[in-house]
Structure 1
């Protein structure tokens, strides 16, 4: 499927598994944040919508204004942060490199990279919408999927 030209109905019908759709105030700004810090790819980017890809996975961004008929819109907070409790884990992103890119961009690093007892090195970075993006990689002793 060509993500740059696929029609909305074809795209929707092709989605499977679990979907992730994030409501944001400014779609192009959120795309730039995700591309810059986490090396995601944005497709069909507009003020209303974007398709994001990350290591073969698809997620969607929608501008708040596109949800005018959706019951979720009334539950969004008027003032930030709106993402409290939402944590998006990106298991193929070096947390040290992501933190450097986030700082260079002026993004808020909630937690510096650290080795965690669950076998990952990870950091927490907040986007302007208040969502926590967690970049992580397995610790060296777990890189082959098994403790060494």
Structure 2
């Protein structure tokens, strides 16, 4: 699928498996965060929408305004964090460089890279809309 040229109808019809779509206050801010901190690839970026790819996983961002007739918008809090209780985990993104890039940008790092008993080193970083992103890598033995 060519994410830069595909029509909205063909894109939607071509999605399979599990998908993530986040409602955000400012698409450009979220795209900058995701591309700069986690080195995701962005496609079709506009004020209202973006497609991002990380390790073969497709993520969509929609601005709040695009959901004006959607019942979900009524549940979205006015102020971050929006994704309270949800962790967006990136298993192939090393936490150390992601935290360094987030720190340079002035993003909120909830937890610095920490070795966990479940075999991962992981960090918690908030996006501009308040979603908790968790870059992680396996612990070295």
Q: TM-score under structure 2 normalisation? A: 0.98
CA distance in 2, matches of 1:79, 1:100: 25
| Residue aligning to 2:94 | 94
**TM superposition outliers: structure 1 runs of 4+ over 6 Å:** none
Q: After the TM superposition, which residues 1-148 of structure 1 pair with which residues of structure 2 at under 5 Å, given as runs?
A: 1-141=1-141
Classify the secondary structure of the residue corresponding to 2:71: coil
Q: How big is the shift at 1:79?
A: 2.1
Classify the secondary structure of the residue corresponding to 1:88: strand
Q: TM-score under structure 1 normalisation? A: 0.93
Matched positions, count:
141
* Superposition RMSD in Å: 0.7
CA distance in 2, matches of 1:82, 1:16: 25
Deviations 1:12-45 (A, max 9, x none): 0110001100000000110010000000011000
Deviations 1:100-134 (A, max 9, x none): 00100000000010100000000000112111000
Q: How big is the shift at 1:78?
A: 1.6
| Residue aligning to 1:146 | none
Unaligned runs of 5+ in 1: 142-148
Q: How big is the shift at 1:81?
A: 2.1
Classify the secondary structure of the residue corresponding to 1:72: helix
